[in-house]
Amino acid sequence: MRHGLLGGTFDPVHVGHLDVADAARRALALSTVTLLPAPVPPHRRAPEVSAAHRFAMAALAVGGHDGLRVSDVEFDSPGPSYTDATLDRLAARGVETTALFFIIGADAFRDIASWKNFPAVLDRCHFAVVSRPGLAATALREELPALATRMVAPPCGIPTEPCIFLVNAKTALVSSTDIRERRRTGQSITGLVPAAVEAHIVKHGLYSHPTGAA
What is the total count of domains within the chain? 1
Given pLDDT bands bounded at 50, 70 and 90, which one contains residue 214? very low
Residue 43: pLDDT above 70?
no
194 domain residue, yes or no = yes
210 domain residue, yes or no = no
pLDDT in tens, 77-118: 777 889 999 999 999 999 999 999 999 999 999 999 999 999
120 domain residue, yes or no = yes
Q: Beta partners for 34? A: 5, 69
Residue 44 near residue 57 (C-beta atoms within 8 A): no
Q: What is the mean pLDDT of the chain?
A: 93
185 domain residue, yes or no = yes
105: Cα within 13 Å, side-chain hemisphere: 19
Q: Give the integer Cα–Cα distance in Å for 74 and 80.
A: 9
Q: What is the pLDDT of residue 212?
A: 43
The CATH number that applies at residue 75 is: 3.40.50.620
Q: What is the pLDDT of residue 210?
A: 61
Can you say how many angstroms the Cα of residue 95 is from the centroid of all Cα atoms in its chain?
A: 19
pLDDT in tens, 172-203: 999 999 999 999 999 999 999 999 999 999 99
209 domain residue, yes or no = no
CA distances from 92 to 39, 76, 126 (A): 20, 12, 18
Cα-Cα end-to-end distance for the chain: 39
Q: Give the integer Cα–Cα distance in Å for 64 and 60.
A: 9
153: Cα within 13 Å, side-chain hemisphere: 11
Q: What is the pLDDT of residue 46?
A: 79
Q: Give the integer Cα–Cα distance in Å for 176 and 192.
A: 9
Per the document, the length of the chain is: 214
Q: What one-letter code names the amino acid at 148?
A: A
35 domain residue, yes or no = yes
212 domain residue, yes or no = no
Q: Containing domain of residue 88, as a range?
A: 3-204
Q: What is the pLDDT of residue 140?
A: 98
19 domain residue, yes or no = yes
